[in-house]
Amino acid sequence: MSTLKIFAPFDQSLIKEIPLADSQQMQTAIDQAHELFLDPSQWLPKYKRVEILEKIAILMAERSEEIIRTSTQEGGKPWMDTEVEMTRAINGVKLAIENMGHLKGEEVAMGHTASSANRMAYTMREPIGVVASVSAFNHPINLIIHQTIPAIAVGSPVIIKPAPTTPLTCLLLVELFEAAGLPKGWCTAMPCNNDVAELLVTSPKVNFFSFIGSAKVGWYLRSKLAPGTRCALEHGGAAPVIIEPDADLSSMIPALVKGGFYHAGQVCVSVQRIYVHESITDQVIEEMESQVESLKSGDPLNKDTEVGPLILPKEVDRVHEWVEEAKANGATIICGGKKISDTFYAPTLLLNPSEDSKVSSQEIFGPVVCLYTYSNRDQAIAKANSLAYAFQASIFTKNIDIALDTVKKLNATAVMVNDHTAFRVDWMPFGGRDASGLGLGSIPHSMHDMTREKLMVIKSSIL
């Protein structure tokens, strides 16, 4: 039997070794989920799903410290931020319950032609079928909730493959789901290698595929889906921010520092590219440098740590290589720019890296933020829009007309006005466009995607 060793990103200590599912076990899980869906007599009625979800929310709250500790230890996100993630995850379950009553059909008018006389018609929404979810490491609690709870809420069986670096949180949550009364087979966690995961993705018994991870992997897996399998893909971005001369720096700088260095920049909508008007560049640099250098890096289990480790030592090496490349191509290192250890990279600010440097043209996914000066806002917007990635963006200004004009021109799924790019609540549309993804991943959007519409037409002579 193959096994997986899970190491703490902080010090690379071994946390646990767990078994990996093989192809036969994966096929059994797929078959079981498919059989549950094919037999409507086994479907969980809505009131029962509500009861289970309510119990899940209660158990998550009761066991929150255990879940936070597990997630922090295996994922490396600081305790203070994982606490926030835990609260969001519990609210996500409650949000699913609230939205169950909003999934409904409507009357389709009949009788206004002779051919449609003596008929009435209504649509209804049914569970889509088996959901396959492939998750990422950076939010081990909330991403699992987003990729399983909507399916459970609408009555679709779901199989979840956690990230290989953070499977323990997923296993703990699925154990908790079953403790809340969810019958086996309705949510199955399957830690496995990529070959076995591809079996899940390509199965014709899977009706919906949910993926969170890199664009390269996501688009590849989409190409392997069976005919008719729908999907939602959430990839990364290289979030741009535009700062106008009238921006309120006192509130803006802390927001940008948080948005850029939260979870060591390992967030798909982290602040990455900041375009600063040349008239205030020196002031922005001075204030950002001061706040970035004061960030406390350390053990994520310490409740005052603000920046934790990167998920793997090779990611530290990669980030450093990118920074060195930018430096060689003319970028100025304002602060950071060095390894703290094999697992930590210093929070880094770069000034005016070249447009073709990797830090400017690809998603950094590390604690590095780039600043660029501009004199013409339209030129800054053009540079912000120059990449294939388009997810979330920001504009800081007190001028409503400039804000609205910038929102209109930026290529992004969401544009924040006077807030950082990583802002999110779980009921808002959230997802990338262009190379950054397909579909939207909020709780309500996912619930809608995990159902499909059926039309019923009734013919009667008395109508």
Q: pLDDT by residue (tens digit) across 168-184?
A: 999 999 999 999 999 99
CB 269 within 8 A of CB 301: no
> What's the one-letter identity of residue 242?
I
CB 420 within 8 A of CB 312: no
Q: Could you report the per-residue pLDDT of 238-296, keeping only the tens digit for each?
A: 999 999 999 999 999 999 999 999 999 999 999 999 999 999 999 999 999 999 999 99
Gap between the terminal Cα atoms of the chain: 64
Nearest to 372 by CA among 363, 382, 293: 382
Q: What is the mean pLDDT of residues 218-235?
A: 96
Q: What is the mean pLDDT of residues 400-419?
A: 98
Q: pLDDT category, 68, cuts 50, 70, 90?
A: very high
Residue 197: CA count within 13 A, CB half-sphere: 23
- Residue ranges, CATH 3.40.605.10, the chain: 3-235+436-458
Q: Quick one: pLDDT at residue 406? A: 98
Q: Quick one: pLDDT at residue 270? A: 97
Question: 239-417 is classed in which CATH architecture?
Answer: 3-Layer(aba) Sandwich (3.40)
Q: Could you report the per-residue pLDDT of 80-100, keeping only the tens digit for each?
A: 999 999 999 999 999 999 999
Helix (H) or strand (E) holding 31: helix 23-38
Q: Annotated catalytic sites, by residue?
A: 234, 268
Q: What percent of the chain has pLDDT over 70?
A: 100
Q: Quick one: pLDDT at residue 58? A: 98
State both tokens at 329.
Answer: 């191509």
- Residue ranges, CATH 3.40.309.10, the chain: 239-417
Q: Quick one: pLDDT at residue 1? A: 79
Q: What is the mean pLDDT of the chain?
A: 97
CB 398 within 8 A of CB 236: no
**Tokens 């640099």 belong to residue:** 285
Q: pLDDT category, 324, cuts 50, 70, 90?
A: very high
Q: pLDDT category, 342, cuts 50, 70, 90?
A: very high
Q: pLDDT category, 128, cuts 50, 70, 90?
A: very high
CB 180 within 8 A of CB 169: no
CA separation for the pair 140, 133 (Å, rounded): 13
Q: What percent of the chain has pLDDT over 90?
A: 100
Q: pLDDT category, 215, cuts 50, 70, 90?
A: very high
pTM metric for this prediction: 0.95
CA separation for the pair 311, 313 (Å, rounded): 7
CA separation for the pair 68, 452 (Å, rounded): 35
- Specify which residues 4 forms β-bridges with: 18
Q: Quick one: pLDDT at residue 288? A: 98
CATH superfamily of 3-235+436-458: Aldehyde Dehydrogenase; Chain A, domain 1 (3.40.605.10)
Q: What is the mean pLDDT of residues 137-156?
A: 98
